Amino acid sequence: MLDRVAGWSFLLFVAALPWSIAPMSITVGICAALTAAVWLRRPDRWPVTPVAWPTLAWLIAFTLSAWFALDRAASLPRLTKAFFPLLVPLAATHARLPHRGRRAMAVLLVSATLAALFGLGLYVAKGAAWPARAHGAVGHYMTFGGQLLLFVSLAAGVLVLERTPRWRLVALLAALAGSVALAATYTRSAWLGLAVSLLTLLGLARPRWLPALAAAIVIALALAPASYRARAVSVFDPHDPTNLERTYMWQGGLAMFRDRPLTGVGPQDLQPIYERYKPPQATERAGHMHSVPVQIAASMGLVGLAAFVLLYCSLFVAAGRGLRRTIAAGGLAAGLRASVVAMLAGFLVAGLFEWNFGDEELLYPLLTLVGMAWAARDWTGPARAEAPAATGTTRVAPAAGANGPR
């Protein structure tokens, strides 16, 4: 019974992932508490993932950076961010049951569709024209764009590899709503990240479709309204004001790294420090450096960079180990696992131009999906389902492809 209640709390948490930080934080707290109670009674339920040791390394690097920070009092409270990779075993615990994992997928796709439509509704209410930008429930267009990058990638994976009509319909609606909403954010880094994600997905699952995707991207740019086309082309304009300000931030961040190369200046808000390091021509006040590698180098130094590389590589391993075999089998597990590998690639590329790895509204869904992808390796065969802990009895779950969305 406790496991079942924890399972329902996980579905509630998954439903909150496309929305704002408050429901995510509340529901993950409930789910984590209930799941911890299950782990205490059934230690065998704790999944050992490739992310375990890299998570410890990330926590140690974060702690060292905070302890030796320029402002220790401002940095130590941010240690809570170092525990986010624990979402991977939390999600893997619940998604190990195929019926629960599939149900979570359906809940997430439906919730993501509703969140995208909600964001579009707000955008239309503001005039649906530049400089208005869709910001969704999270309240910021860049964060909303990052969410949509993840969920459109997930929907695309299901469309490519799952053949059940009900799943394909749910995924199609999520992909369409998410793509339109993503366009309305005018967030170039998320656009670029999605393009990389889709190219990676097709490269893994349907290489023969790559020329068609490339042609579709070119046609979409050619036929896009002038405001969208100008925004996309501005990526390559070194004199664009936003591009210039980002290069100034990167210069300031690299100067911080040169001064404190081992553990950085600390994982605090960098605005007061940036004011001392920014180039004279910079005009924006920045609390972060708008780039994952530059931000980690400035705030956590070489120790943080090494831990980040180790952690991010472990996320790829967790999502992608045995992926070719899963793709050959097809189905929902293949769609989930291939899309998570693809979104990790797209998220990494987007992170070259924004501090998305520090955005909690993005870490919640990204790391949860990695945990689900790790667990989905076993969806293609018989799996243990929920059983009363007192008896330890089991029952066999149906095969992975037997059920559509519920």
What are the counts of helices (DSSP H) followed by strands (DSSP E) for the chain? 17, 0
Question: Which of 66, 67, 86 lies closest to 269 in space, CA to CA?
Answer: 66
Whether 159 is in a domain gets the answer: yes
Residue type, 281: Q
Question: Which of 180, 175, 181 lies closest to 197 in space, CA to CA?
Answer: 175
Whether 113 is in a domain gets the answer: yes
Q: Write down the residue that tokens 């941010």 correspond to.
A: 78
User: What residue numbers bound the domain in which 280 lies?
Assistant: 51-383
Whether 33 is in a domain gets the answer: no
Q: Check residue 70 and give its pLDDT.
A: 95
Cα distances (Å, whole numbers) of residue 309 to 57, 197, 341, 359: 11, 19, 16, 18
Find the helix packing angle between 292-320 and 360-375, rounded to 10°. Answer: 20
Q: Write down the residue that tokens 């001392």 correspond to.
A: 276
Whether 62 is in a domain gets the answer: yes
Integer Cα distance of 192 and 189 in angstroms: 5
pLDDT tens-place string over residues 67-107: 999 999 999 999 999 999 999 999 999 999 999 999 999 99
pTM: 0.91
Contacts of the segment 99-102: beta carbons below 8 A, 24+ positions apart: 99/385, 99/397, 99/398, 99/403, 100/7, 100/10, 100/11, 100/386, 101/372, 101/375, 101/376, 101/379, 102/332, 102/379, 102/400, 102/403, 102/405, 102/406
Report the domain count for the chain. 1
Whether 400 is in a domain gets the answer: no
Whether 393 is in a domain gets the answer: no
Whether 108 is in a domain gets the answer: yes
Query: Largest Cα–Cα distance of the chain, in whole Å?
Result: 70
CB within 8 Å of 402: residues ≥ 6 apart: none
Whether 399 is in a domain gets the answer: no
Q: Check residue 401 and give its pLDDT.
A: 38
Phi, psi of 51 (to 5 degrees): -85, -10
Contact yes or no for 13/31 (Cβ under 8 A):
yes
pLDDT tens-place string over residues 133-143: 999 999 999 99
Q: Check residue 382 and give its pLDDT.
A: 39
Q: Check residue 244 and give its pLDDT.
A: 92
Residues of the chain with pLDDT under 70: 381-406
Query: Residue length, the chain?
Result: 406
Question: Which of 382, 364, 375, 361 lies closest to 141 in space, CA to CA?
Answer: 361
> Could you tell me the two tokens for 245?
């300000």
